[in-house]
Amino acid sequence: MAFKILICDKIADEGIKLLEEKGYEVTKAWNMPKAELSKMAGEYDAFIVRSATKVNRALLANAKKLRVIGRSGEGLDNIDLEKAQELGVAVVNTPHVSYMSVAELTIGHLLALSRGIVEGTRSLREGKWVKDELMGVEINGKTLGIIGCGYIGKTVERLAISLGMKVIVVEECAFDRFVPLDKMLPQADFITVHVPLTPHTRHMISAKEFNMMKNGVMLIDCSRGGVVDQEALYQALVSGKVKAAAVDVFEEEPPRNSKLLTLRNVIATPHIGAQTQEAQLRASIQIAEKVIKALEETVS
C-alpha cells in the first residue's frame, strides 16, 4: 500500500530513502510555516516530527487518515498523547539514539563555564584583554550533581568521573548510590539536569531548590524547557547564588525576549543536544524503520 508520509521537521536523507524505497509518497514540509501543516494534515497516513512541530489537538483534528506519528528523538512532550490514543493513532519514537551527543554537549558546557571560554571569546572580539577577570576553577575534585540517571545521565556520570569529578546522582530508584534531591543540592559545585518534561518534573528546579544550593554553584540544563523554572534561574543568577549557567533548552523555543540571554554569566545553545551528524543519522534510520513497521501493522 502506498502510504503518504508528511515529514514536518528535517531528518537525514538516509531515513527518507528507506521510506521512498518502500514506495511511500513522501512530502518534505520542514521549510513550510507550521501553521500550514494543519491544512495538509488530512491527506497523510503518518507524520514524522522532531521537537519543532507541535502535534496538538488542532493538528490532529484535521488528520483524518492519520495512523502513525513518528518522533525522531526521545521526548514526546510536543505530542498530545492523550488525543492520539483517543484517535487510535500509534506513536513511535527513537529513545537513546542521541544520549552520547547530549552527554558530550553537557561536558562541553561544564568546561566552558568553569573556564570562562565564551566570555573570553566575546571579550577578545570586543577588543578587550580580560585575563585577570577570567579566573577559572578546575573541575577535577569538584562535585557534580546529576538529576536523572537514564542513558544520558549515566554517560555524563562516566565522563565526569574520567575527568576526576565526584558525582552524586539523584534518581527515584532504590539503589544505594542515588540520593534525594534535597541531599544533593547543598553539596554540588556543578549541577546538570537530565529528566524528561512531565507534569511531575515541570519546574522541579525552582526558587526553593536554588535556595538549597551551594553559593556559587554552576548549572547546566540540557534536558527540556520547563524542567528548570527559568525565571527563578534568572533571579538566582542576578543574586549571585548561581555563579553561571549553561542552557540548551528554553520554556519557549525559539526564545523571545528571554531575560536569561541578557546576562553575561549565561551561555546558551539553541537546543542542539542531539544535533550531531551521528545522532541524526541514527534517529533518521530508526524512525523510518519504526514508522514503516507501525504502518504495515495497521494493514496486517
pLDDT at 173 over 80: no
Q: Is 294 helix (H, G, I), strand (E, B) or coil?
A: helix
Three-state secondary structure string covering 24-40: CEEEECCCCCHHHHHHH
pTM: 0.88
47 lies in the same domain as 190 = no
pLDDT at 296 over 80: yes
Task: Give me the CATH number covering residue 36.
Answer: 3.40.50.720
pLDDT at 1 over 90: no
CB count, 10 Å around CB of 57? 12
Q: Is 93 helix (H, G, I), strand (E, B) or coil?
A: strand
Q: What is the pLDDT of residues 11-32, one digit of tens each?
A: 999 999 999 999 999 999 999 9
Structural domain including 40 reads: 4-94+277-299
Q: What is the mean pLDDT of residues 73-90?
A: 92
Helix, strand, coil percentages in the chain from 3-state DSSP, rounded to 5: 40, 20, 45
Q: What is the pLDDT of residues 192-213, one digit of tens each?
A: 999 999 899 999 999 999 999 9
Catalytic center residues: 224, 253, 271
- Going by pLDDT thresholds of 50, 70 and 90, the confidence category of residue 157 is very high
Alpha carbon distance 296, 89 (integer Å) = 13
- Going by pLDDT thresholds of 50, 70 and 90, the confidence category of residue 172 is low
Report which DSSP code applies to 17: H
125 lies in the same domain as 252 = yes
The greatest distance separating any two alpha carbons of the chain, rounded to the nearest whole angstrom, comes to: 69
121 lies in the same domain as 90 = no
User: Of residues 64 and 172, which shows the higher confidence score?
Assistant: 64
Alpha carbon distance 200, 147 (integer Å) = 14
- Going by pLDDT thresholds of 50, 70 and 90, the confidence category of residue 145 is very high
- Assess contact for 44 and 66: CB atoms under 8 A: yes
Alpha carbon distance 233, 242 (integer Å) = 8
132 lies in the same domain as 84 = no
Element (H, E) at 156: helix 151-162
Residue 299 has what pLDDT?
Answer: 85
Alpha carbon distance 31, 7 (integer Å) = 10
Alpha carbon dihedral 176, 179, 183, 187, in 10-degree steps, equals 90
- Going by pLDDT thresholds of 50, 70 and 90, the confidence category of residue 228 is very high
111 lies in the same domain as 79 = no
Q: What is the pLDDT of residues 247-274, one digit of tens each?
A: 999 999 999 999 999 999 999 999 999 9
Count how many domains the chain has.
2
- Going by pLDDT thresholds of 50, 70 and 90, the confidence category of residue 177 is low
182 lies in the same domain as 220 = yes
Residue 171 has what pLDDT?
Answer: 72
Alpha carbon distance 190, 220 (integer Å) = 8
230 lies in the same domain as 115 = yes
For cell 541578557, name the residue: 262
Residue 174 has what pLDDT?
Answer: 38
**Could you give phi then psi for residue 118, rounded to 5 degrees?**
-70, -45
Q: Which three cell numbers stand for residue 177?
A: 548510590
291 lies in the same domain as 206 = no
289 lies in the same domain as 219 = no
Mean predicted lDDT score pLDDT of the chain: 94
* Residue type at position 105: L
- Assess contact for 283 and 72: CB atoms under 8 A: yes
Comparing CA positions, the residue from 197, 100, 109 lying closest to residue 153 is: 100
49 lies in the same domain as 78 = yes
229 lies in the same domain as 132 = yes
215 lies in the same domain as 134 = yes
- Going by pLDDT thresholds of 50, 70 and 90, the confidence category of residue 175 is very low
